[in-house]
Amino acid sequence: MASDTEVRKYIAYWFQLGKKVLIRNGSEALLPKSVIAGDRYSREFEECWEKIISPDSGDCYLQGTDETIAQLLTPAWEISPCARCAMPVVFHQNAMPPESCPCNDLPNWPNTEMPQPRSPVSTKSQLSGIRDRLLRTGGE
């Protein structure tokens, strides 16, 4: 089952590659200029997310997909990495992965020479984790 957090991450990753989310049954497109602001999602991304999950927005789709965001938030859907590009893709639980990845219309993707989409990172917690691992292994 795809959680709210996983679906937000899915949308954030695809926004970072320039994919839009179509809302109001395709009459409006959302694509924030910035997705990450330090250790959290940007305000612009959060505003887009609020529009995406608002009942007033009607059916909302990631560009190049058929499933609505509302469908993805139900227990019938899962999110896993694409075998071709490692980007998150959705598939119906108990079914085969999708025939094509949303990246199929992105020129030059996958591209291992450019930074990959990512989630916000808390530098402080990352450094604390590294310190803790070093302290654990240093005593052996």
Amino acid identity at 40:
R
What confidence tier does 126 reach under pLDDT thresholds 50, 70, 90? Answer: low
Q: Which of 46-50, 65-69, 135-139 has the lowest mean pLDDT?
A: 135-139
pLDDT in tens, 12-22: 999 999 999 99
Q: Tokens for 121?
A: 């990172």
Helix (H) or strand (E) holding 107: none
- The strand pairing partners of 59, in sequence order, are none
Contact 21, 48 (CB under 8 A): yes
Q: How much is the pLDDT for 123?
A: 67
Spatial distance between the Cα atoms of 86 and 80, rounded to a whole number of angstroms: 8
Show the domain range for 87. Answer: 4-138
Spatial distance between the Cα atoms of 108 and 96, rounded to a whole number of angstroms: 26
Q: Which residues contact 80 (CB under 8 A, 6 or more apart)?
A: 88, 89, 91, 97
Q: Tokens for 47?
A: 């505003």
Cα torsion 114, 100, 53, 24: sign? positive
pLDDT in tens, 79-116: 999 888 889 999 888 777 677 788 888 888 888 888 88
Q: What pTM was estimated for this model as a whole?
A: 0.83
* CB atoms near residue 83 (< 10 Å): 9
DSSP-based three-state secondary structure for 14? helix
| Tally of structural domains, the chain | 1
